[in-house]
Structure 1
């Protein structure tokens, strides 16, 4: 069994660590607070501290970057943390597995594949793009081994309140109240199931075919907000829920008082046109399929 360092214990990191522990691996979870799931070695550390991260990563086989700073802090928080991860990966020789996202692609006109250019002009997306290009450059000259795994909007057990299919969706669904979203209700959108994200990260870290390129998490066919609501309600034995789209000017006004709501303007394009993730390359290469939507929704409701 290997030694795995999971940095971050949020909605993805917790799943990764829990799965690795169940597989019998030695797992260290690194967070600022020193938290983590039972069975892991828990370490409190500042991820931006190169020396500390290098020390923690000694002897590791795989180093997972599952950190997720608040979106409005990406420009300040990500660069020093990215540099720290690279230093730790190079010093330890561990495979560096990055949890990425789709933001660097920017607006697209069709299904997203891994060969799309990282063409976004958003400064925050460019920070994420640079993290990958810097890591890839280090990989190509033999300093590290790395890969990046990208998913669409997350849902599933353990999803945070930032998830559109988290409590803001589940609480009114269960209460029979109107579910409100800031975007159109009938636009196809890809949704990535959290346990599938963890599985993809683990596969990518342990299979050298994954290294040196990005991959998309196995993700089921896209669904609209309305379709998700109808399917979830059916699983609860209830009629289709009432749903409403919040007026965009109202959302923008609320953003003046909430940093997170204020950032929605940067990702609105992802919900006002079809936003579809193509994960066929990962599925074909590694023989891994996404969890069926009905099973994923049921597990989310049961959790």
Structure 2
């Protein structure tokens, strides 16, 4: 049984499809889970509660931690460490392996490409939290207490990725006849991971005996476009002019007075000010997998809005 903790988003839906295609039985776990075509079981559970997490994971062979908490520092501070500790304990009791879908916040400002060897140097409060929970899992792996893998992604985009910055600021805007937006600086390269590649890579990692107990960057196209280039590709997909505006720091700060999501994202703007390049060559070399090009991924995402 392959169990997905937090299967409500675009990554979870794609992962279900890939697991079913690969012949696995799938259990979905969430506070109010909705059955996805192909899934065998749905279990309502609050994984901030240890007993409910143990119950939800029982009988699993592989567990995927895909939880997406509300984008709120207070919520993250209260729940992330609890969720990680509960998930580790539940997996140990079930003798299940764990795949943790992670982001790149813990790296902080990086001069050059981000790789699996990039040290943790968070420069945000949310990055501190992500560094702590990743370190907790890595320590458990090092001690031999659990077989686990960290699958780390850049910012992602794709069909159904409603909470993705790229989807909200570019694809959503164009789909409604408006102008796109970009954060801070549209003239520097910024890596984005396509959701389809995330789902496929999680299954590849789970099925590979040599992939366990290490960190992997999920497949992300090399040579990322600048904000302008990303927007031009999206505009082409919608058949519209690439009109857009750049949201500078002062404007984001003012907008944050009226929108909590914008306010919470302010500390992460450093990711948009300079080059943000995510290197997944380790995965490509190990598995011979080539991710979707930006032209392909953006075209598919644009078409999904029509």
TM-score, reference length from structure 1 = 0.93
Offset at residue 23 of structure 1 (A): 2.2
Is residue 2:48 matched to residue 1:48?
yes
1:169-248 matches, cutoff 5 A: 169-220=170-221, 221-238=223-240, 240-248=241-249
Deviations 1:37-72, CA, capped at 9 Å, x for gaps:
122111111011212221222221110000011221
Cα contact 2:187–2:227 (8 A) shared by 1: yes
CA distance 1:171–1:134, change in 2 (3 Å): closer
Offset at residue 294 of structure 1 (A): 2.0
Task: Give, in whole Å, the separation in 2 of the partners of 1:171 and 1:292.
Answer: 21
Is residue 2:7 matched to residue 1:6?
no
1:26-175 matches, cutoff 5 A: 26-40=25-39, 41-72=41-72, 73-160=75-162, 162-175=163-176
| SS of 2:273 mapped into structure 1 | coil
Give the number of equivalent residue pairs: 299
| SS of 1:43 mapped into structure 2 | strand
| Paired position in structure 2 for 1:263 | 264
Cα contact 1:7–1:65 (8 A) shared by 2: yes
Task: Give, in whole Å, the separation in 2 of the partners of 1:130 and 1:25.
Answer: 32
Offset at residue 167 of structure 1 (A): 4.0
Task: Give, in whole Å, the separation in 2 of the partners of 1:201 and 1:120.
Answer: 25
Offset at residue 176 of structure 1 (A): 4.7
Cα contact 2:233–2:299 (8 A) shared by 1: no
The gaps in structure 2 that reach 5 residues or longer are none
Deviations 1:96-135, CA, capped at 9 Å, x for gaps:
0001011000001100010011111433212212212211
Task: Give, in whole Å, the separation in 1 of the partners of 2:298 and 2:53.
Answer: 37
Deviations 1:161-211, CA, capped at 9 Å, x for gaps:
x32221431243245532223321112100100011111111122212221
Task: Give, in whole Å, the separation in 2 of the partners of 1:250 and 1:228.
Answer: 22
Task: Give, in whole Å, the separation in 2 of the partners of 1:47 and 1:26.
Answer: 21
Alignment RMSD? 1.6
Offset at residue 136 of structure 1 (A): 1.8
The gaps in structure 1 that reach 5 residues or longer are none
Cα contact 2:189–2:275 (8 A) shared by 1: yes
Cα contact 1:71–1:263 (8 A) shared by 2: yes
| Paired position in structure 2 for 1:18 | 17
Cα contact 1:176–1:241 (8 A) shared by 2: no
Cα contact 2:109–2:123 (8 A) shared by 1: no
Task: Give, in whole Å, the separation in 1 of the partners of 2:19 and 2:91.
Answer: 19
Task: Give, in whole Å, the separation in 2 of the partners of 1:113 and 1:75.
Answer: 26
Task: Give, in whole Å, the separation in 2 of the partners of 1:176 and 1:68.
Answer: 29
Cα contact 1:185–1:244 (8 A) shared by 2: no
TM-score, reference length from structure 2 = 0.92
